[in-house]
Amino acid sequence: MIAPTSDVLTKTVSAGAAEAVTKQQLRIPSKILDQEDFLKLLVTQLANQDPLAPQTDTAFIAQMAQFTSLEQTKGMTADIAQMRSQQKILQAMSLLDREVVVQSEKTGVAKGIVKGFDMEGSDPKLIIGEDRYDLDDILTIRLANHN
């Protein structure tokens, strides 16, 4: 009995893919796929694709592109969070020795000179008198009048 053409092609493609995998050097996977890794996967996928079901391979490539995009987005999100934290620190530093008016639920409206700041997590808390305030509590900023 002669095997159906699709079975012969599938077995040939599978055997070729298995041979290609065994010939490759073993590699320790990295956490993030870079552009070179993605292109290698793309070339390997195209070389070993099933001609009777090309959409399956296209879907795989689309999934890999989405995965790579997701990893890059995660990295950018972490970078942006770090930049925001650094920006808040710079903003707090620029307020040192300035006279500010702040409003908070705890103390109401208060006025005083920023003497320093403490960090609570990634957020600086301005030290005005004995109290600590968020940067968002600031209503006005003036140069301190040292007489």
**For position 24, what pLDDT does the model report?**
52
How many domains, the chain?
1
**For position 139, what pLDDT does the model report?**
94
Which CA distances in Å does 125 have to 73, 110, 115, 136? 30, 15, 11, 10
Strands 123-128 and 131-134: antiparallel
101 in any annotated domain = yes
**For position 19, what pLDDT does the model report?**
54
115 in any annotated domain = yes
38 in any annotated domain = no
49 in any annotated domain = no
Expressed as residue numbers, the domain containing 119 is 97-143
As a whole number of angstroms, the distance between CA 37 and CA 24 comes to 14
46 in any annotated domain = no
pTM score above 0.75: no
102 in any annotated domain = yes
- Tell me if 100 sits within 8 A of 128, measured CB to CB: yes
User: Within the chain, which residues score under 70 in pLDDT?
Assistant: 1-35, 53-57, 146-147
Name which of 106, 98, 95 is nearest 130 in CA terms.
106
Task: Tokens 């900023």: give the residue.
Answer: 141
**For position 9, what pLDDT does the model report?**
43
92 in any annotated domain = no
**For position 12, what pLDDT does the model report?**
45
116 in any annotated domain = yes
